[in-house]
Amino acid sequence: MGERMKWTKECRLGVDHIDSQHRLLFAIANELIDFEDPMEEAPEFKFLLNHLRQYVDEHFKSEKQYMQDIQYLDFDDHIQKHHAIVEEINDLLKGIKSLNELKGNMEKLLKKWIKEHILVEDKKNLGVDKNNEEKFQSVKCLDRDPDKGWIRYLLIQ
């Protein structure tokens, strides 16, 4: 069994609904990691894979909406990265040779996604990071509706 993904406050972007979705993705990844022998529990393992696949779509849809709400400038680039992750997941699911092998590969992919995308890309680009003055200023200069999105969040901090 691989090492579980631990959620800590450092993983937070500061955007509540995205954070709770990321947290659930950690939980799904951990559930997958916890399977000792997916072949032995094939129906449960397949159910988890279905759930993962659906939740990834739901989550990316939600991040997309959020990026539109804040009029995120690198929208296309970020969406492209989401497409690449979905494609990698689909490729793994299409190329199944055994459930045990799939589990190992999916675990690697989820850990890579969490470490490289959620904890770096999302945090840097979508997160509310008060230490990042440059980002803070540029967002303030955009003059968006202060009743929506993270501008309001920044203003109330």
Cβ atoms of residues 87 and 60 within 8 Å: no
Rule CB under 5 A: choose which of 122, 123, 149, 150 binds Fe ion: 122
Question: Residue 143 has what DSSP assignment?
Answer: -
Residues binding Fe ion: what is the number (CB under 5 A)?
2
Q: How far is the CB of 58 from Fe ion (least distance, A)?
A: 13
Q: How far is the CB of 28 from Fe ion (least distance, A)?
A: 16
C-alpha distances out from residue 32 to 17, 47, 48, 50, 116, Å = 23, 11, 7, 12, 19
Q: How far is the CB of 15 from Fe ion (least distance, A)?
A: 11
Residue with smaller CB distance to Fe ion, 103 or 125: 125
Residue with smaller CB distance to Fe ion, 19 or 63: 63
Which pair of structure tokens corresponds to residue 101? 């092998």
Q: Does 107 bind Fe ion (CB under 5 A)?
A: no
CA pair distance 22, 12, nearest whole angstrom: 9
- Of 39-68, which residues contact Fe ion (CB under 5 A)? 63
Residue with smaller CB distance to Fe ion, 41 or 121: 121
Judged by CB under 5 A, the stretch of 1-9, 17-25, 89-97, 118-126 that binds Fe ion is 118-126
CA pair distance 42, 134, nearest whole angstrom: 49
Residue with smaller CB distance to Fe ion, 63 or 107: 63
Contacts 24+ apart (CB under 8 A), 96-99: 98/39, 99/38, 99/39, 99/42, 99/45, 99/46
- Which residues of the chain form contacts with Fe ion (CB under 5 A)? 63, 122
